């Protein structure tokens, strides 16, 4: 069983390096979004790297989870695993949904989509601040602005059947909601900080469908 991983907003495949999975794992690199491209259109382009001749699963982290849900609609993986993410727009906090309605992200200059590191360290709740800083320094701000806008204005309101959500109780960016596999004390960067526990859950879930 192949597993394809989609990292979070501003992140890259480095966030998956701490996982210890029993299946073949392939991280998917982000591609540049087209101007005014929707997340569903973007997901179709990004998914072209996936080999659909064999059974596969998806892992989506944070914003990557939204993209994984969109891919799930037309490629039908065996399982979609969302880490620190949501399956529908209703699972986003009321504040984030309100922020999306204001359209502020569309008028704020791109340079402001990189707040001070101390704020991000707090929001991500990680002990591995050097790795987070290295990833953030490599973030394309044009992509970040597009992705944040798509996150806040996500239209999906219907859940998918073959989905497992893994969430930390201390996630300050996207609090857990609905039916989830809980990582007690896990923050938004727990894909790195709590990789051993997350790997165990993923391996158990994948083993049930092999």
Answer whether 0.75 is exceeded by the pTM.
yes
Asked whether the beta carbons of 78 and 150 are under 8 A apart, the reply is no
What pLDDT was estimated at residue 78? 95
Q: How many CA atoms lie within 13 A of 172 on its CB side?
A: 9
Give which of 76, 208, 67 is closest to 151, Cα–Cα.
67
Asked whether the beta carbons of 90 and 35 are under 8 A apart, the reply is no
What pLDDT was estimated at residue 36? 87
What pLDDT was estimated at residue 45? 97
The token pair that represents 33 in the structure block: 């979004």
| C-alpha 18: how far from chain center | 16
* Window from 57-61, 99-103, 119-123 with minimum mean pLDDT: 99-103
- Number of domains making up the chain: 1
> Measured on CA atoms in the order 207, 24, 28, 114, is the torsion positive or negative?
positive
Q: Does the pLDDT of residue 98 top 90, yes or no?
A: no
Burial class (CB in 10 A: 0-12, 13-18, 19+), 37: middle
Looking up residue 134, the CATH number of its domain turns out to be 3.40.50.1820
* Helix, strand or coil, per DSSP, at residue 29: coil
Largest CA distance in the chain: 47
Q: Higher model confidence: residue 140 or residue 40?
A: 40
What pLDDT was estimated at residue 112? 67
Distance CA 20, CA 199 (A): 6
Inter-CA distances, 200 with 20, 52, 62, 70, 196, Å: 8, 25, 19, 25, 6
Residue 178 is given by DSSP the state S
Q: pLDDT tens-digit profile of 3-36? A: 999 998 767 888 999 999 999 999 999 999 998 8
Share of the chain above pLDDT 90, in %: 60
Q: Which domain holds residue 17?
A: 2-207
The end-to-end CA distance of the chain, in Å, is 7
Distance CA 44, CA 89 (A): 19
């Amino acid at each position: 069983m192949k597993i394809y991983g989609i990292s979070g907003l501003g992140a890259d495949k480095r966030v998956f390096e701490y996982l210890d999975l029993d299946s073949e794992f392939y991280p998917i690199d982000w591609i540049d979004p087209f101007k005014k491209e929707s997340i569903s259109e973007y997901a179709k382009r990004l998914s072209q790297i996936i080999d659909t001749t064999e059974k596969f699963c998806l892992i989506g982290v944070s914003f990557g989870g939204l993209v994984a849900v969109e891919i799930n609609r037309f490629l039908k993986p065996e399982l979609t695993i969302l880490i620190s993410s949501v399956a529908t727009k209703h699972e986003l906090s009321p504040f984030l949904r309100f922020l999306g309605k204001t359209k502020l992200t569309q008028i704020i200059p791109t340079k402001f989509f990189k707040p001070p590191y101390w704020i991000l360290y707090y929001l991500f709740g990680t002990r591995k601040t050097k790795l987070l800083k290295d990833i953030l320094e490599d973030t394309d701000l044009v992509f970040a602005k597009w992705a944040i806008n798509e996150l806040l204005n996500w239209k999906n309101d219907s859940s998918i059947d073959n989905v497992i959500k893994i969430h930390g109780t201390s996630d300050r960016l996207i609090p857990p909601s609905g039916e989830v596999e809980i990582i007690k004390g896990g923050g938004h960067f727990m894909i790195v900080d709590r990789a051993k526990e997350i790997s165990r859950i993923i391996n158990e879930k994948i083993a049930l469908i092999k």
